Amino acid sequence: MQVRTQVILKEPTDGHRPTPRMPRGAGQFCVALAVTLAVVLPIPARATPPAWPLWDQYAQHFVDGQGRVIDRSQQDRTTSEGQAYAMFFAVVGNDRARFASLLNWTEANLASGDLTLHLPAWSWGKAPDGSWKVLDPSPATDADLWMAYALIEAGRLWNDQRYEKLGRVLAERIAKEEVVHVPGLGTTLQPGPVGFHPDAKTWLLNPSYLPPPVLARLAQAMPQGPWTKVQASLGEMLRHGSGDGFAMDWVAAGGGGVHSSVNPTQFANGDKSAVPIGSYDAVRVYLWLGISDPLTPGVRALLASVPGMAAYLKSNLAPPLAVDSTGKALSPDGPVGFSAAVVPYLDTLNHKSSASAQMDRLFATRDPANGLYGRGAAYYDQNLALFSTGWADRHYRFDRDGRLKVKWNAK
Catalytic residues: 81, 142
Q: How far does CA 10 lie from the centroid of its chain?
A: 19
Question: How far apart are the two ends of the chain, measured CA to CA in Å?
Answer: 47
- In our burial notation (b when 16+ CB lie closer than 10 A, e otherwise), range 25-56 reads eeeeeeeeebeeeeeeeeeeeeeeeeebebbb
Tally the C-alpha atoms within 13 A of residue 340's C-alpha that lie toward its C-beta: 25
The pair phi, psi for residue 194, each rounded to 5°, is -140, 155
Q: What does the alpha-carbon distance between residue 350 and residue 205 come to, in Å, rounded to a whole number?
A: 30
Q: What does the alpha-carbon distance between residue 246 and residue 9 come to, in Å, rounded to a whole number?
A: 23
Tell me the three state secondary structure of residue 324. Answer: strand
Tell me the three state secondary structure of residue 122. Answer: coil
Q: What does the alpha-carbon distance between residue 192 and residue 122 come to, in Å, rounded to a whole number?
A: 10
